[in-house]
Amino acid sequence: MDLQSKISELATTYFPIWVLLVSVVGLVRPGTFSFVLPHISLLLGTIMFGMGMTLTLEDFRRVLQQPRDVMIGVLAQYTVMPLVALGIARAFHLSPELAVGMILVGSCPGGTASNVIAYLARGDVALSVTMTSVSTLISPLMTPLLTLWLAGRWMQVPAVDLFLSILQIVLVPVLLGVAAHRFFSRQVARSIHLLPLVSVAAIVLIVGAIIGLNASLLLSLAPVVLAAVVLHNCLGLLLGYLAASLLGMDRPRRRTVAIEVGMQNSGLAVALATIYFSPAAALPGALFSVWHNISGPILAGWWSRRE
């Protein structure tokens, strides 16, 4: 293994630790990562491009091969998490900005790290990749509609602008990445090992910037917001697993659906909240990025040891 691969593996293995360290730095020295704020959309687009480079046409053919499982997972993704977010926002009496931020996180597609967690949990990795791909591809439609429907009571939701931004930040980079894999496969193969490092660095920088921007607010509201985010993630994992169990999926696929439902593309929520709502609305997404990269590996480790 060459030096670049070792660095990339190190970054991925200790991802939760890097996120925690950067969060602490953002709290103690809020201005450290302020230079990242104007470039959040670009960083997220880079992550999405990298995700597209890992996909092949075969990944999309799996939708036709196992449509039931994919559709069940995607349906759970776009019902469980948004509705749970709405319930938590009401139960915790969150401010309008934080409530919108929670719902925006719940309305986003599956997280880019979910495929790795599914692998570590001995789930169905092919199903995980396909679910992430499908939920991401339909996110320009689903995320604005769900946010408008559920969060419109708190704040005005620019659904059309959200739709256009998700096209630019998510769909276009993913499709460009797929095209790069298709037409420049040799060059992509030589650089594919660097993608985890790029994704980790981008997410860590985004989290540090948003935590720093909301440091004072976070210090005053930390217990409430953190409890809401942890509960959101844990209920997503639990309800995703139960839904897959009730519909007769085997153990690896139950685990996969749970992970796909519970782990959100919180970086997208941060970017959209920063652009269209307020810094406070981006806080749930930033905290979700921290927490689900802790809960995911813990759950995966527990499941893998049970085999």
| Per-residue confidence (pLDDT) for residue 243, from 0 to 100 | 92
| pTM score over 0.75 | yes
Mean pLDDT of 156-164: 81
As a whole number of Å, the CA-based R_g of the chain is: 18
Site of tokens 């909301």: 214
In angstroms, the Cα distances linking 141 to 34, 52, 122, 145 are 31, 19, 31, 6
| Per-residue confidence (pLDDT) for residue 106, from 0 to 100 | 93
Site of tokens 């810094």: 279
- Collapsed DSSP state (helix, strand, coil) of residue 210: helix
What's the rounded Cα separation, in Å, for the pair 176 and 61?
18
| Per-residue confidence (pLDDT) for residue 9, from 0 to 100 | 64
Taking the CB of residue 103, how many other CB atoms lie within 10 A of it?
32
158, pLDDT greater than 90: no
What's the rounded Cα separation, in Å, for the pair 241 and 78?
15
Cβ-proximal residues to 27 (8 Å cutoff; 6+ apart), any chain: 211, 212, 215, 218, 219
User: Cα dihedral sign for 11, 13, 19, 20?
Assistant: negative
Collect contacts of 7-10 with beta carbons under 8 A, ≥24 apart.
Answer: 7/197, 8/193, 8/194, 8/195, 8/196, 8/197, 9/196
- Collapsed DSSP state (helix, strand, coil) of residue 110: strand
Tens of pLDDT, residues 210-255:
778 777 777 776 688 889 999 999 999 999 999 999 988 888 889 9
83, pLDDT greater than 90: yes
Tens of pLDDT, residues 255-296:
999 999 998 888 788 888 888 888 888 888 888 877 887 788
81, pLDDT greater than 90: yes
CATH classification of 3-306 is 1.20.1530.20, yes or no? yes
| 1 vs 60, higher pLDDT | 60
| Per-residue confidence (pLDDT) for residue 26, from 0 to 100 | 83
In angstroms, the Cα distances linking 154 to 146, 228, 274 are 13, 17, 17
| Per-residue confidence (pLDDT) for residue 209, from 0 to 100 | 82
| Per-residue confidence (pLDDT) for residue 33, from 0 to 100 | 84
Site of tokens 């092919």: 126
What's the rounded Cα separation, in Å, for the pair 197 and 80?
31
Cβ-proximal residues to 65 (8 Å cutoff; 6+ apart), any chain: none
| Per-residue confidence (pLDDT) for residue 107, from 0 to 100 | 92
User: Distance from CA of residue 221 to its chain's centroid?
Assistant: 23
The counts of H helices and E strands in the chain are 17, 0
- Collapsed DSSP state (helix, strand, coil) of residue 150: helix
What's the rounded Cα separation, in Å, for the pair 38 and 275?
10
What's the rounded Cα separation, in Å, for the pair 41 and 60?
26
| Of the listed ranges 29-33, 75-79, 104-108, 299-303, the one predicted with least confidence | 299-303
